[in-house]
């Protein structure tokens, strides 16, 4: 039985061409900042995001942590959505390591507005933390942040002397889905991270982008966290290949997600169709708990994941058009709505 892995877009394997680029990469010691391929990747990331400089980090989690550490730090607060990745999936690192207090805000789909931030900024009291940063995530659950929300948040932040960090792990999905370039999305934040190892198909790594002064500080914090690496050009070559060859093809993942989502509807599942803007699908089945649905799908060769009480499917580089058609056929045959 063939397995179709829809647990995440992080499960992909490097393509043969990407492996060849990695094998042929020119390398040097990046702790000495002497790896030419890594330098090329960081310059490319800065150019794509419209920022002055960029820094390669092993993971998006580290990139987010460094951004918080430098721009907020001990005794400061970060305002963010309660469902954001930095709250739910980064093990409290901002508090445990950066000493920063997260102030979480309930927001539909995890999308904040300037109104959500009103009355939450603290200043000047000796016995309370000072608000320093707003953190947004784009895309969040595959949903693209409305541009007008980001403009409003940026205006609010400037009025209150706050910085903005954007967790842009899947920001290229937002670019492909909306037509707005990454540089425009990034212009609404002071710093941004993006992942190479999610939809772009590289085996490891994220880029943290911001001002040159910020990146100089970030370099020190990366070293403190154990993120200084040596001949990183092997990894940088994968990232450069991904940026050259795997961005526009994200549209295929988005189309495949819509195909599967429609099949789920036909099968009787409740699908958040409005949320299927990129490559992520959320659905539920009446009267059936998510782990039971996962097991039933697994029995048919479809690997899925859960987010709380809902099932999550993520299309990716390793799922072809033929795979998508096979997955859709399996789902429609299962008639999930009749599970009890």
Q: How does pLDDT run across 277-323, given as a tens digit for each residue?
A: 999 999 999 999 999 999 999 999 999 999 889 999 999 999 999 99
- Tell me the mean pLDDT in the region 318-340: 93
| pLDDT, position 151 | 98
Q: In the predicted model, is pLDDT for residue 127 greater than 90? A: no
% of the chain with per-residue pLDDT over 90:
96
| pLDDT, position 318 | 98
Strand partners, 310: 307
| pLDDT, position 307 | 87
- In this structure, what are the phi and psi dihedrals at residue 244, rounded to the nearest 5 degrees? -80, -30
Q: Which fold has domain 16-245?
A: 3.40.640
The mean pLDDT of the chain is 97
Q: In the predicted model, is pLDDT for residue 340 greater than 70? A: no
Q: Which residue has the tokens 């959500």?
A: 116
| pLDDT, position 150 | 98
Q: In the predicted model, is pLDDT for residue 338 greater than 90? A: no
* Domain ranges, ordered by start, for the chain: 16-245, 249-338
Q: Name the pTM for this structure.
A: 0.96
Q: Judging by DSSP bridges, how do beta strands 163-167 and 130-137 pair with one another?
A: parallel
Helix (H) or strand (E) holding 164: strand 163-167
Q: Measuring CA to CA, how many Å separate 128 from each of 76, 121, 123?
A: 9, 11, 8
Query: What is the distance of C-alpha 196 from the center of its chain?
Result: 10
- 18-54: pLDDT as tens digits: 999 999 999 999 999 999 999 999 999 999 999 999 9
61-75, 114-128, 232-246 — which is least confidently predicted?
Answer: 114-128
Question: Do 243 and 219 meet the contact criterion of CB atoms below 8 Å apart?
Answer: no
Name the CATH architecture for the domain at 249-338. Answer: Alpha-Beta Complex (3.90)
Question: Do 194 and 171 meet the contact criterion of CB atoms below 8 Å apart?
Answer: yes
Helices 250-266 and 171-178: crossing angle in degrees, nearest 10, is 80
Strand partners, 314: 280
């Amino acid at each position: 039985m063939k397995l179709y892995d829809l647990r995440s877009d992080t499960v992909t394997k490097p393509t043969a061409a990407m492996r060849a680029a990695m094998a042929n990469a020119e390398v040097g010691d990046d702790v000495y900042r002497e790896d030419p391929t890594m330098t090329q990747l960081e310059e490319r990331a800065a150019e794509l995001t419209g920022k002055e400089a960029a820094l390669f980090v092993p993971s998006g989690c580290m990139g987010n942590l460094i951004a918080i550490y430098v721009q907020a730090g001990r005794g400061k607060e970060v305002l963010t959505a309660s469902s954001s990745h930095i709250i739910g999936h980064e093990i409290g690192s901002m508090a445990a390591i950066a000493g920063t207090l997260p102030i979480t805000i309930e927001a539909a789909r995890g999308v904040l507005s300037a109104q959500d931030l009103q009355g939450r900024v603290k200043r000047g009291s000796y016995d309370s933390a000072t608000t320093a940063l707003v953190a947004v995530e784009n895309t969040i659950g595959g949903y693209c942040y409305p541009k007008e929300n980001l403009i409003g948040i940026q205006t609010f932040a400037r009025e209150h002397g706050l910085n903005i960090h954007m967790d842009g792990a899947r920001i290229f999905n937002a670019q492909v889905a909306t037509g707005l370039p990454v540089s425009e999305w990034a212009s609404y934040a002071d710093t941004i991270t993006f992942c190479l190892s999610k939809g772009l198909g590289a085996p490891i790594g994220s880029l943290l982008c911001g001002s040159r002064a910020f990146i100089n500080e970030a370099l020190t914090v990366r070293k403190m966290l154990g993120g200084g690496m040596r001949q990183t050009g092997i990894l940088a070559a994968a990232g450069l290949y991904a940026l050259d060859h795997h961005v526009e093809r994200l549209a295929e993942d988005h189309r495949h997600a819509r195909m599967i989502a429609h099949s789920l509807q036909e099968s009787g599942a409740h699908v958040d169709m409005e949320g299927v803007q990129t490559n992520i699908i959320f659905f539920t089945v009446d009267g059936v708990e998510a782990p039971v649905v996962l097991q039933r799908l697994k029995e048919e060769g479809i690997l899925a994941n859960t987010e709380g009480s809902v099932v999550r499917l993520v299309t990716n580089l390793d799922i072809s058009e033929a795979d998508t058609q096979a997955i859709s056929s399996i789902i429609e045959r299962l008639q999930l709505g009749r599970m009890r």
